[in-house]
Amino acid sequence: MSQEQDRTAVSDDRTMVADGGAVLGIELGSTRIKAALVGPGARPLASGSHTWENQLVDGRWTYALDDVWSGLQACVADLLDDCERRYGVRPTTFAAMGVSAMMHGYLAFDAAGELLVPFRTWRNTSTGRAAAELSDALTYNIPLRWSVAHLYQAVLDDEEHVDRIASITTLAGYVHRRLTGRDVLGVGDASGVFPVDPATRTYDAARLATADDLVGRARPGLSLSGLLPQVLVAGQDAGTLTDEGAALLDPSGTLRAGVPTCPPEGDAGTGMVATASVAPRTANVSVGTSIFAMVVLEKPLGGVHEELDLVTTPAGDLVAMVHCNNGASELGEWAGVFGELAAAVGSTASPDDVFGALLHAALDGEPDAGGLLAYNYLSGEPITGLEHGRPLVVRTPDSRLTLANFVRAQVFSAFATLSLGMRVLTDEGVEVDAMFAHGGLFRTAGPAQRLLAAALGAPVAVGSAAGEGGPWGMAVLAGYLAAADEVDLGTYLTDRVFAGARLDVVEPDAADAKGFTTFLERYADGLVVERAATDAV
């Protein structure tokens, strides 16, 4: 592009931003709240972010709602500042917007809209009895983190707040309700609240009746069906930004009310959109604080598997989800330690430089990580039956402790539990044509992609938006509002968003794959050590 063309493009973008023609996507992730502003074809225009962290309070993982709003305001302010730096203007409105957040968990409100107990996130694993009873009654796997499991566990525990519950929702649903006044959920997010029937694109009516009966017998007068948000599919009208909502996002008063909004979604849904993985036989892997794979199914599974969630795409199609509570956080902790060492010896390397150097070092490790064993369990892990976590590094005297082997063991530990869950799908005969990867781990091109391919035994593709997929994917869903009457979501993504997109595809390396198999066998055998650590420490 010539300098003149570049100046023209910037001028056109400035006009679009100033006139409110851009589309905004916001995602409340586990460690960052992020915003993406996009133009035609979902081309990125500006971004903003704010770092936050969950807290362990009274034995439960949570985020304070005050931190939700202060974080959103800081993120939006950062986005507006970025617009001003790039284009010399601060947008006052948008063509459309949408909000997504980490899925599942439990937000319960009274009739006045007041939060009854602190937000219980997806990371909590204290709902074992409720999940088991619901799974048995519904003949459907209800994971520990699902909203209905949290609600029913509160009923079983006779918690004081239960009698005052008027509504429950997810984090994305809560933010959307405050911004628009509409108590709705996108179908993908709703499918982590209660099972969804892909034929009706809403809660499974027969199972909801069964659950109502189960809950009602334990707590007479409490009706589950009366507590749930309305379900919408991608492209449906989800209301507009109100004056109160605009002030919540931007107390400075720059943003105006009236922006059309799309249904709020979960981070799994935005991951599918950000990788164009919404059609049968497509799949994606997201690696962040948690790690999960989403496989769009051609037909229902043959049985109920506790390792697999059945959720949906934002359009309502059935998806098998392998969700692991522990992803790249422990690797990030170690990167911080090595960063401190680098600073102590006078290095000016940035955190991204340190993280990238460590990932590249992993490629020089022995295929099986030299006999080292690592567990990245900062919290419990349902797939391996652990209610609590203790990060561990274990080795025998004859193992080879090198930087390369150490980092490879940490990366393998992030993929190990996912691999165990994916093997259940393989045994079900599920086939995948394409596996796309996204999330912060893939901001460093190459190493994580290669080692994930080895762990899954399948080609892994990474696109140009792999490092920041969530808010961008939400912006894509918001942009789809204008096209939903013309084209289905899958075609919209293929023809209007990803046409000509660049993908880097890596095939499994035979030596890496064999080494990972050896590591995984050692990992499975060593789970007894991890269990002992949770009991003793």
Q: Residue 499: helix, strand or coil by DSSP?
A: coil
- Tens-digit pLDDT profile for residues 488-523: 999 999 999 988 778 889 999 999 999 999 999 999
Classify domain 276-327+420-508 at the CATH topology level. Answer: Nucleotidyltransferase; domain 5 (3.30.420)
The 10 Å Cβ neighbour count of residue 256 is: 15
The 10 Å Cβ neighbour count of residue 521 is: 11
d(CA 508, CA 511): 9
Q: What is the 3-state secondary structure (H, E, C) of 465-476?
A: CHHHHHHHHHHH
25-80+95-265 domain in CATH 3.30.420.40?
A: yes
Confidence of residue 172 (pLDDT cuts 50, 70, 90): very high
Q: Average pLDDT in the 420-436 region?
A: 89
Contact 292, 470 (CB under 8 A): no
Contact 407, 365 (CB under 8 A): yes
- Tens-digit pLDDT profile for residues 342-379: 999 999 999 999 999 999 999 999 999 999 999 999 99
Intervals of CATH 3.30.420.40 along the chain = 25-80+95-265, 276-327+420-508
Q: Average pLDDT in the 91-110 region?
A: 96
pLDDT of residue 448: 93
- Tens-digit pLDDT profile for residues 384-396: 999 899 999 999 9
Contact 477, 98 (CB under 8 A): yes
Q: Which of 34, 479, 466 is nearest to 234 (CA)?
A: 479
Contact 145, 104 (CB under 8 A): yes
Contact 26, 41 (CB under 8 A): no
Percent of the chain with pLDDT over 90: 82
Query: What CA–CA distances, in Å, run from 144 to 159, 162, 199?
Result: 18, 19, 25
Confidence of residue 292 (pLDDT cuts 50, 70, 90): confident
d(CA 126, CA 276): 34
Confidence of residue 223 (pLDDT cuts 50, 70, 90): very high
Percent of the chain with pLDDT over 70: 97
- Tens-digit pLDDT profile for residues 31-78: 899 999 999 989 999 999 999 999 999 999 999 999 999 999 999 999
Which run of H or of E encompasses 36? strand 32-38
Confidence of residue 320 (pLDDT cuts 50, 70, 90): very high
**Least confident segment among 63-72, 274-283, 395-404:** 274-283
Q: Output b/e per residue, 320-338; b: 16+ Cβ within 10 A.
A: bbbbbbbbbbbbbebbeeb
d(CA 27, CA 101): 5
